[in-house]
Amino acid sequence: MLPAIFGLSGPVLTDDERAFFRDCNPAGYILFGRNVETREQVRALTDDLRSLHGRDRTFICIDQEGGRVARMKPPVWLPYPAGEAFDRLYEIAPASAIEAARANAHALGLDLAEAGISVDCLPLLDVRQPGAHDVIGDRALGTEPMRVAALGRATIDGLARAGIAGVVKHMPGHGRSLVDSHKETPLVTASAEELEQDLAPFRTLKDATIGMTGHLRFTAWDAENPATLSPFVIEEIIRKAIGFDGLLLTDDLDMQALGGAVPDRAARAQAAGCDIALNCWAKMDDMVGIAKALGPMSAKTAQRLDRALAPTAAFDGPADLAEQRTLLATRDSLLKLA
């Protein structure tokens, strides 16, 4: 199995994509707005992806956070709030905020399970910092590490109740970024002592089965390389200081925070210690290049992938609308408290 996750160009697989994916056998796939049109179409697409290699448990992920980051949109799918809504509630009623975040994630997870999606790139454990770029902004669960961790754990628990695996991101923390890493490389000059605040939520949730790196340079740790490409950050900070031993994905390798050709970025990320190279934009030349540049999946990565997917389950019918309505009613009644 190739240690890569690839995007798709449209709502159905092209002949070239089908042949390429069958040949290279990637670890998984990621869906975007261009891939989702109707409930029936998305389920047919994810069934098709699973059938390529006969794996019932296939890593099929999406960025369905709520708020401004939602690939599956109304009116076909329900809207969900951004993380900031739960942060506001936590300010006055922590237990209610945790319950609301769990109910919200469970309801959202039912939509994903019905669509045949097994993994959601949620929750963000980035600690929001004043004056930072709004690339994180209202997506964050708060400015206080333990609050972020508590709401993040509730989100993972809610997704799991629907058979969906969550992804903690963006390790080792994106909350201090002064620029958008989609467009340029953020440089974080905070001291190692200050960065302990950023690490704290990830350390609390170190037993999460999947994590994602961020493309930021931290002068306290490695002034030359973004975290995704830094052996020091991945081994000494993510694996040791945080204690994370789950499946580690890169953030999208197409982002302009990284330099060089995309296949070279994938090879450098693997060499730095990332388990899986994530490439989102379905550019066939880049995907073929990545397949050539990457080494085989290690036994440790395969174990981490199996562990991450073990609790997931394909949903064989429509979402349980009665259960979903109950969950959303619980969420909304609690959010009104804020």
Name the burial class of residue 51, with classes exposed (0-12), middle (13-18) and buried (19+) by CB atoms within 10 angstroms of its CB. Answer: exposed
C-alpha to C-alpha distance for 209 and 203, rounded to whole angstroms: 13
What pLDDT does residue 313 have? 73
Which helix (H) or strand (E) is 41 found in, with range? Answer: helix 39-53
Give the Cα separation of 111 and 22 in Å (integer): 27
Cis peptide before 186 (omega within 30 of 0): no
Beta bridge partners of 120: 62, 166
Determine the Cα–Cα distance for residues 54 and 174; give it in Å rounded to an integer: 37
| Bridging pattern class, strands 69-70 and 64-66 | antiparallel
Beta-bridge mates of residue 4: 277
Secondary structure E strands in the chain? 2-7, 26-31, 59-62, 64-66, 69-70, 119-120, 165-166, 168-171, 187-188, 210-213, 217-218, 247-249, 277-279
pLDDT at residue number 321: 87
d(CA 87, CA 89): 5
Q: Give the full edge-to-edge strand order of the sheet including 210-213.
A: 168-171, 210-213, 247-249
Q: What positions carry a catalytic annotation?
A: 182, 251
294/73 Cα distance (integer angstroms) = 34
Q: What is the pLDDT along the chain (338 residues), one digit of tens a residue?
A: 999 999 999 999 999 999 999 999 999 999 999 999 999 999 999 999 999 999 889 999 999 999 999 999 999 999 999 999 999 999 999 999 999 999 999 999 999 999 999 999 999 999 999 999 999 999 999 999 999 999 999 999 999 999 999 999 999 999 999 888 888 899 999 999 999 999 999 999 999 999 999 999 999 999 999 999 999 999 999 999 999 999 999 999 999 989 999 999 999 999 999 999 999 999 999 999 999 999 999 999 999 999 999 999 766 677 788 999 999 999 999 999 98
Q: Which of 108, 87, 105 is nearest to 96 (CA)?
A: 87
Cβ proximity of 187 and 214 under 8 Å: no
pLDDT attached to residue 314? 63
pLDDT at 183: 83
Which ranges of 145-298 does DSSP label H, i.e. alpha helix? 145-161, 192-204, 231-232, 262-272, 284-293
Architecture of domain 2-335: Alpha-Beta Barrel (3.20)
Q: How far apart are CA 211 and CA 195, in angstroms?
A: 18
